[in-house]
């Protein structure tokens, strides 16, 4: 089969490799659409890959091409997506349904070969069937959608309250959409990219604040003087928004860190004291799983896409053929502004 194989830093090649051989409880998916995740960028352009050669990719949708002899939940020809986490299902965290905390997990497209290929093998228990009216392109958004929703669940979000999303890349825009679906009274979006903010407005944000503008602190002052925001979701993983999260949160508010940090975070005493004085609740969010595996996040995403209340196709920045994977990465190499998801299409 053909695959985009990462051989070394910034060395990705479209070439022939062996088609995966499935075990009795696995299925083989013919990949039709697969996304480039933000976590894939440092794996390709930096030193974050676990080993070489590796086939990356964990946001996927396609068609079942073959099934193992013990598989009964799907058939050849079914249109599907797949949860990329491979937990051990045996440790204490897995037994408690805390699959994201499994200390023995593997991950498709990271520690095992992924979906930037014609075919990928997946345990049958990881499969979610696509509703008939959901496209393969939408199916490639399942995984990032569930990441956003998992963070909202971890924050114990309640409808009728205000929320903020700091950083409106793919995860941030999906967080905005889910907050709107789940009944947030008011949503404020923060970013430095005007195009992303405009898109988040279309996704359901009530107010958009560009933190690169000179007067953005005036907007922040209005928010904090009005009492702050009850639920704050940080999705960018940068120190500025991490600190800002604590600043804009309301007294007794909840701050959820979803974005993976990219640098050390130092909090000055006045900023740290906000956690104490406001009696903030701080929580993290890692991946997107709950019991029964893979979890309600995945089932609710399927339902929301089927009902067309979650809109993903407008979040696509550009599509490339898998064979043109290097053209896709030229956008990142050239630091070209990207205001949505890059998809690789078979």
How many Å apart are CA 256 and CA 174, to the nearest integer?
15
Q: Do residues 251 and 227 make contact, with C-beta atoms less than 8 angstroms apart?
A: yes
User: pLDDT tens across 91-135, in order?
Assistant: 999 999 999 999 999 999 999 999 999 999 999 999 999 999 999
Provide the mean pLDDT of the chain. Answer: 96
Q: 309 φ, ψ to 5°?
A: -95, -20
Cis peptide before 294 (omega within 30 of 0): yes
SS3 51: coil
Q: Do residues 31 and 120 make contact, with C-beta atoms less than 8 angstroms apart?
A: yes
Q: Do residues 162 and 188 make contact, with C-beta atoms less than 8 angstroms apart?
A: yes
How many Å apart are CA 149 and CA 326, to the nearest integer?
31
Q: Do residues 326 and 5 make contact, with C-beta atoms less than 8 angstroms apart?
A: no
Whole-angstrom CA distances from 127 to 36, 299, 307 are 20, 11, 20
Q: Do residues 185 and 161 make contact, with C-beta atoms less than 8 angstroms apart?
A: yes
* Residue 193 token pair: 């990219």
Note the pTM of the prediction, 2 decimals. Answer: 0.96
**Edge-to-edge order in the sheet of strand 207-210:** 207-210, 186-191, 162-166, 229-234, 249-257, 281-284
User: pLDDT tens across 21-69, in order?
Assistant: 999 999 999 999 999 999 999 999 999 999 999 999 999 999 999 999 9
pLDDT at 345 over 90: yes
Mean pLDDT, to the nearest integer, of 212-241? 91
Mean pLDDT, to the nearest integer, of 166-178? 97
- Give CA 24 to chain center in angstroms: 30
Q: Strand locations in 151-237, DSSP E? A: 162-166, 186-191, 207-210, 229-234
């Amino acid at each position: 089969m053909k695959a985009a194989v990462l051989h070394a830093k910034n060395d990705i090649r479209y070439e022939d490799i062996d088609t995966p051989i499935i075990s009795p409880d696995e299925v083989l998916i013919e990949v039709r659409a697969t996304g480039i995740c933000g976590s894939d960028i440092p794996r390709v352009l930096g030193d974050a890959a676990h080993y070489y050669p590796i086939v990356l990719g964990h946001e996927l949708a396609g068609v079942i091409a073959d099934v193992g002899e013990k598989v009964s939940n799907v058939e050849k020809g079914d249109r599907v997506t797949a949860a990329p986490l491979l937990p051990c299902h045996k440790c204490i965290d897995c037994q408690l349904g805390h699959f994201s905390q499994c200390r023995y997990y593997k991950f498709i497209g990271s520690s095992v070969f992924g979906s930037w290929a014609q075919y990928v093998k997946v345990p049958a228990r990881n499969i979610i069937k696509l509703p008939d009216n959901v496209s393969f392109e939408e199916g490639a958004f399942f995984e990032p959608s569930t990441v956003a929703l998992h963070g909202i669940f971890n924050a114990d979000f309640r409808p009728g309250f205000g929320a903020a999303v700091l950083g409106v890349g793919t995860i941030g825009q999906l967080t905005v959409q889910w907050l709107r679906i789940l009944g947030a009274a008011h949503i404020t979006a923060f970013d430095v990219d005007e195009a992303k903010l405009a898109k988040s407005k279309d996704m359901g944000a009530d107010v958009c604040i560009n933190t690169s503008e000179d007067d953005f602190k005036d907007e922040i002052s209005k928010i904090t003087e009005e009492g702050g925001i009850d639920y704050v979701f940080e999705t960018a993983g940068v120190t500025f928004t991490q600190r800002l999260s604590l600043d804009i949160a309301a007294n007794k508010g909840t701050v959820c860190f979803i974005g993976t940090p990219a640098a050390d975070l130092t909090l000055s005493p006045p900023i740290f004291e906000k956690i104490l004085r406001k009696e903030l609740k701080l929580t993290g969010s890692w991946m997107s799983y709950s019991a029964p595996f893979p979890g309600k996040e995945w089932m609710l995403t399927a339902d929301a896409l089927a009902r067309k209340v979650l809109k993903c196709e407008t979040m696509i920045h550009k599509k490339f053929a898998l064979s043109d994977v290097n053209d896709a990465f030229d956008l990142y190499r050239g630091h070209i502004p990207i205001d949505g998801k890059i998809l690789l299409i078979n």
